[in-house]
Each structure stands twice: as structure tokens, then as C-alpha cells.
Structure 1
């Protein structure tokens, strides 16, 4: 892997926490993601299933984790299955984990080959009453491809129809929402690589460059700092493109006088970062651009102070909406009287700020968790207000990643330039 080895105490600790939530006499099974086909004999880059990675640290295809804390044979309480290699695999694909390497990565003593899984499960499953199965449960998920976990659910229910089946996802959502010290350091590393990418861009952006040129500069900086690349599809949106929230074509020219909205983040060790900055293509904001930018910045600074233990997303978003209303009135985009008489179910600010302000961040850029759960120490949220004025061709979003602590929010991107004067100064030719 490109990233530095992760201390296996992280994965040992994660498994210990997970099994505390299992019902007595339970087995839990987690499968790796598939290597997805593209066209002909091509495949897409492999990305590990986050739950499997969270519990084992194994970043390889055709891997399976079996947890059975009540197994009578102590060797079978934690079993990791990895792909058996061969000379042919070594020649064509490269090195795969040995059993010893898998033990070192995961902290699991019993490591077997993947092809042994069915036989081993069959020797254990009748000792158990419950089987916990993994699935991709996420409000934003659109699942059209059957995963290894999904295929296993059907296979398992067919072969063991009289067992009681449970969902692992609610437990994983509960655990993954709160980050450990090691996880926070990995996210900080991802944020640092993102900072390097942004600082590189400030000296690169100028009238005439293409959006994809800007994206290429990011890839270069990410890859040379041990990242596999972006944690999600980068948005490099110049001019009116910035008013398209999920614009990823990145194929237009950056023109003099326009703004450039960039929403990107490096991935490191499967952990995401998530940054948005909006800069003037020519290095100098117009008075109107600066005014709107300062409004968004004030909302960000106010909103991030609300990312404290005990708050909830609903309370938080209502508060941010009120702050945004005041800024939009100041900018002349809303009238105070109209706001006073608006339908609370259809707030007027949504015309110019139509998305949420924050989401959980971790192994997924939109990380798993319960939106009704009060904020807790060591949760990590984005903070990303924006104002989009389509009729003026202005779209400005600013975003940092915030760690919730008892002593107040900690901005993990506090070193990344954000103030107007700093942006303009750093964009001047050196």
C-alpha cells in the first residue's frame, strides 16, 4: 500500500467494540468489495469495503472476516480469510498478503485462505443462533450492482434458513461515527495532503487554464504524497459552473474575471478529507465577489462554533439557516419583510443555499451515522456553507473539516488559506 503501515491496535480495538454489541451466540461475517469490471478485460481500481477495513485493516480483494466471540474453539473466535497466492498471480498481479502479513496487519491470529471459508463456516454456524450480515445502508446510496456482501446474504439465507439474521450496519454506524486517536491522525494526514494540493493550485491558476489542468495539478500533488488520489470526484467549476452543485465535467476554460470553485479532498489510508475553496481566476476578487465571499466566510465561522457535543444536525441546520438569511438580506438577495412572512417549511434562503451545511466524515466522505444522534466528542464533520447566484454567475462555497471536542471545535484545516487577503496574496506571481 502507498500509505504508511497502520498500528493494528486500531483494528483490534474496533473489533472489541463491535462484538460488545452482538447478541449472545452470534456470528458476524464481512466481505471485501469486488474488483469491478470496466470493459473487455479491464477492471476499475479496487476500493476496499469500509466495514471490513475498519475491523481488519486488510486492503485486499477476496478477503472475509468472521467474528464468533462465543466459539468453543478459541482459535475460531476471530478468523480472517485472504486470497491464496501463486506463482501465476505473482507474475500477473503482484504480491498478495501472506498469512503472517495478514496477522500483522489485523492483529488476528487465525488466518486461512478464502477458499476455505465455506467449510469453516459450516463447522461453526450450528453453534450460533444469530448471524450478523453486512449491507450498504446509507440515505444517499443508490445500489444497482450486487456486491459480495449482497450475494452472501442470499447464499447464507438459502443454506441456513432457520437461523436468526441481524444487521451489522446499525452497529457499524454507531461505532464509526466516533473516531479514535489513530483515525483522527489519518484524517489529519489526508487534510495535510489536501493543503499541499491547494497551495500548489494558488500559484498555478490563471486566466486561460482549463479546469482539467487544475484537476491534474491536484492529482500530481496527491499521488506524490502517498495518497491513492481524490477521496471523491473533484469539482473544479469555473464561472457559472460553480452554481451546479455536483459539477464534475471539469472541461471548461477558466476565464479572466470569473471565480473558480474547487471542492476536492485527498484520501489517505482509505480515510477522506473534504475541502472547498473559491478563488478569483485572475487572482483578484471584484467588490461584489469579495462581498459574497465574506458573507459565506462569516457563515462558516459562525457555523463551525456550533459543532460541539450535545448539538444535533437539525438544530444546527436551523441555526445556520437563520445566519444565512441575514447575510442574504445584507447582500440584497432577500428582503427582510419577505423573510419574516415566509413559509417555515420553505425557507427563502434555500434559493441561494440549497444544500446542508455539514455531514460526517471518515472512511466515507459522507460517512455513516445517525443524523438524529447528538454530536459527540471525536466526531468529525465538514462545515460547508455556500451562496449560489445563478443570475450573476457567482457560486461560492467554503468548506473545512471540523473535529468535535469537549473544549470546542478543532478545525483540521486551519492552516489552509481561507481569508480573502491571504488568497489574493498567495495567488500573486512569486
Structure 2
């Protein structure tokens, strides 16, 4: 791992919180992700399943976590099963976690090698009534492949059909949405790396540069600051490319007078940041571009103030829509008739701002969180309004990551990343 070690107290506390919400005489099992094949002997870079990482800090393949708070045998109340390292693996892949390193990472004292799992699992399954399986129930989930977790769940239910089954995901949706201080520090580190990369490209961009060259500059800065790279597929969209919300080709040349919409940010220790900025290729916004830019910025600033405890995201998005409608009227993009005759299910402002304003962020870019529940302190959200005008050849999105406070406005983890139009112009022309 490139990142610095994380204090194991985070993972100990996360397991304690999860265990308190489990039914009596129940155990929960969590699996690492697979290493996914590409073709021949090629594979995708390994990405740990965020749930087992959240609960253990273990960041390697073929790992299994068991939590069994009521186990009669105290040593089996928390168990890690790991792929056994050996000299061959150490030479070809690098040494895997030893039992001692696993304890140091996770705070879990009982560690077995994976080949012993079925035997140990049989013993503890005879001592419990319910088993928690870990299904993916995120509201954006669209999974077409069978995961390691899926295969394990299928095997477990066939092997132990008399056990009751419960779901881990509803518990994790609540727990993971409210961040511990250590988690906020890790997200802040990701944001700080993102800031360095953004400042780097402000000095790099000029007419004639290619979108992929900008992508390379960002990646360079991420890697040299101990990030694996982009937290999500980067969007570097010049001119009308910005009006494709998930444009990821990044293969066009940036021309004088164009704007470039960035939706690019670093991960750090599996935690995501999520940034959007829109800058002028030539270093100066036109009058119209700045007018639209400042309208988006105004909506972002006002929307941020609304992220307070007790707010429900669905209601929040309605209120942000009202802010955006007002700005679009001022810009002449909508008129009063458009608003008076709008479809309540697709308001008039959606013609120019068709996506949501905020989502949870953390171990996943679109992190866990039950969107019908009220907002709580220490939840972390993006704030990302945009205005997209294909007829004028540009789109603008601005986005920061903020932490909800008990009282007052959220804390902006990206407050040091330039966003005012005048500051961006000054830095690009320095």
C-alpha cells in the first residue's frame, strides 16, 4: 500500500459499532473482492471490498472477516482468515499479511489461514442461530458479475440451510455514512492531494493542450503524494464535451476560448475525494462564461448552507432546484412561462441542471447512506450544481466536499482549492 498505516483504533471501533446492532446469537461474514481478469494472464489492479476494509483495515485479496459477539469461545468473537504467505508468494508477488501484521493492522487477535476456514466456520455455525450475509443494496448499484461475496453467500446458504439469514448492508449503510474523525482526516488528505494536482494544471493549461495531457499531469501529482490515483474515472471535458455528464474519453484538443470542466479527484487509503472545477483554456473567462460561472457558484454556496442535521436529501434537492430556477431566470435561460408550465416531475430547471446536487462520499465516491433518513453530524457530502448549455458550447460544474456539523454551516474540506473566477484567472496568468 502506498498510504501511511491507519490507526487500528478506527477498525476496532467500527467493529464494536457493528456488533452492537447485530441480533443475539448471530455472526456476520465479510469477504474481500476478487482480482478480476482482463484476458490471458492480465488482471485489473486489486481493489478491496470497502466493507471488510471498513471493519478490519485489511487491504488484500482472499481475506475473510467473521464477527460473532456472542460466541461462547472468546477467541472466536472476531476472526480473520487470510491467504497464507510463503517464500514463493513473497518472491513473485510480495509478502502477504502475516498473523502478526494482521493484528497490528486490524486489532484482531485470532487469525487463521484460509485453508482452515471451513473447519472453524463449521464449529461456530453450530453455536449461532443467524448469519449476516453482505449484499450490495446501494441505491446506485448495478452489478452484472458474480462477486466473491455472492459465491460465498450461495455456498453458505446451501451448506447451512437451517440458519436464519439477516443482511449486513442496512447496518453498514447507517454506520458508514457517519464518519469517525480518523476517516475525515483521510478524506481531507485525499482533498489535499487533489488541491496540489489542480494547482499544477492551472499552470499547465493553455490553448492547444490535449485533455489526456491534463489527465497525465493530474495522475503524476496523485502518485507522487501516495495516492493510487483517481478516485473515479476522470472527466476532463473541454468545450461541448462538458455537456456530456459522464464524458471520459479525454481525447480532444483544448482550443482558445473554450472552458474545461474537470471532475477529477484523488483517492487516499481507499477514501475518495470528489472535485469539480471549470477553467478557461486561455486563462480568462468571457463575460457570458463568468456570468454563468458565478450563478453556479452562488447556488453551490447557498446549497452548502442547507446541509444541516435534520435535513432530508430529497427535500434538500427540491430547495436547491428553486435556487437554480432563480439563477436560470436571471441568466435568460428560462422565462416565467417555462416555470409556470413546468412538469412537477421534471421541473423546468432540469433542462440545464439535470443531476442531483449532493451525495454521500467516503470509502466509495457515491458512499453508503440511506437517502430517506435525516442528515446527521459528521456525514460528508459533495455539493455540485452545474449549468449545461449545449447551444452556447460550454457547461459549468463546481463541486466541493463538506462535513456536516452539529451546529452551523458545514466545514468545506476543499476550502483551499481555488474556486472564485478571479482567483483562477490570476493563477493561470501568474
What count of residue pairs does the alignment treat as equivalent? Answer: 429
Per-residue displacement from partner, 1:219-275 (whole Å, max 9, x unpaired)? 000000000001100000000000000000000001111000000110000000000
Q: 1:387, CA displacement in angstroms?
A: 0.1
Q: CA deviation at 1:342?
A: 2.1
Q: CA deviation at 1:213?
A: 0.2
Query: Is the 2:53–2:59 Cα contact (8 Å) retained in structure 1?
Result: yes
Normalising by structure 1, we get a TM-score of 0.99
Distance 2:335 2:394 in 1: 20
**Secondary structure of the structure 2 residue equivalent to 1:127:** coil
**Match in the other structure for 1:418:** 419
- 2:288 is matched with which residue? 288
Question: What residue is the counterpart of 2:410 in the other structure?
Answer: 409
CA distance in structure 1 between the aligned counterparts of 2:345 and 2:47, rounded to whole angstroms = 40
Q: Distance in 1 between matches of 2:161 and 2:103?
A: 33
| Corresponding residue of 2:137 | 137
Q: Secondary structure at the match of 1:229?
A: coil
C-alpha displacement at 1:54, in angstroms? Answer: 0.3
Q: What is the alpha-carbon distance in structure 2 between the residues aligned to residue 360 and residue 282 of structure 1?
A: 34
Report the Cα offset of residue 137 of structure 1: 1.4
Give 1:354 deviation, angstroms.
0.1
Distance in 1, matches of 2:65 and 2:338, equals: 57
Give yes or no for contact 2:227–2:266 (8 Å, CA) kept in 1. yes
What is the CA–CA distance in structure 2 between the aligned matches of 1:92 and 1:135, rounded to whole Å?
33
1:47 equivalent to 2:47? Answer yes
SS of alignment partner, residue 38 of structure 2: coil
Other-structure match for 2:3: 3
Shift, 1:86, TM fit: 1.2
Q: Return the alpha-carbon distance in structure 1 between the equivalents of residues 334 and 283 of structure 2.
A: 29
Mean Cα deviation higher: 142-151 or 333-342 = 333-342
Post-superposition offset of 1:126: 1.0
Aligned to 1:24: 24
- Distance between the aligned counterparts of 1:151 and 1:337, measured in 2? 55
| 1:156-235 correspondence runs (5 A) | 156-235=156-235
CA RMSD across the alignment: 0.7
Q: Does 1:367 align with 2:393?
A: no
Q: Which residue of 1 aligns with 2:119?
A: 119
Matches within 5 A, 1:86-101: 86-101=86-101
For the residue of structure 1 that corresponds to 2:156, the secondary structure is: helix
Give the structure 2 partner of residue 334 of structure 1.
334
Distance in 2, matches of 1:402 and 1:230, equals 19
Where structure 2 has 5 or more consecutive residues not aligned to the other structure, the ranges are none
Q: Distance in 2 between matches of 1:193 and 1:342?
A: 42
* Corresponding residue of 1:299: 299
Q: Using the alignment, how far apart are the partners of 1:147 and 1:337 within structure 2?
A: 51
Question: How far, CA to CA, are the matches of 1:301 and 1:262 in structure 2?
Answer: 19
Q: How many angstroms apart in 1 are the aligned matches of 2:39 and 2:341?
A: 56
Distance 2:199 2:346 in 1: 39
